[in-house]
Chain A
């Protein structure tokens, strides 16, 4: 008997709630009402504390082509010190995701280069307005999409499209 891709993905899914993992919410209609939702990451970014963790340094380096300087400034691609509010919106979104685990972060504005760094985040809640994004890596565990447990990130790329 032939099996469709939809059925194959569905066979891998179980309901999950409350576990520590990457939680994807796609479409506003799927947002839970009991979890804070940060729609405008630029407005919320001042609440992120930059301490120079390995992940924060990686974001500054790989996305903005800069380097960590201190907890108030980074060195930009031209060698000038800038405040962290001059980081790109995508960098702000993923730094917010890394630091604020109790809220859903709007990642719709993130480019493919930012989404690639999700590989280094084990725990967080992400929102995308539609299914146009693609996660550029596969991760075989700890992924939930719209409240359903998936076998890996690749299922989001192929099934939620």
Chain B
């Protein structure tokens, strides 16, 4: 899936499922969040949530996630609003869901690793098979 935000191209080479990334800071996750948010505002079927929105919507986050059929969902800064309700929901959404998470996942929660790379023109999410 490719989404353009101004001159920036977002390429999401992910199958439906739940994804997490390496435990590093400054890999571009919040940059991706901002781009996905902009794409959502321009009508693309993508969604990005972060701490402030979750606090604003409070306990309706699960409703928000399940309300529409999205092609990609990102949960930025998930450590700040981690909940079992959200984790139970993400596997049912039928699209790639990227969780920015540095803490400890529940023992029975499964997720795939993915990579993010970006330059001045493109940001790309993919699974590194090697």
Contacts and interface: CB of A to CB of B under 8 A. Distances in A.
A63 B26 contact: yes
B67 interface: no
Interface string A86-114: 01111100000000000000101111111
B43 interface: no
B25 A91 contact: yes
A78 interface: yes
Interface residues of B, number: 17
Interface string A18-43: 00000000000000000000011010
B37 to A, nearest CB: 14
Which DSSP category, helix, strand, loop or mixed, fits chain A's interface? Answer: loop
A11 interface: no
B24 A78 contact: no
A78 B80 CA distance: 30
Contact of A89 (B23, B25, B103): B25
B62 to A, nearest CB: 21
Interface string B59-100: 000000000000000000101101000000000000000000
B103 A132 contact: yes
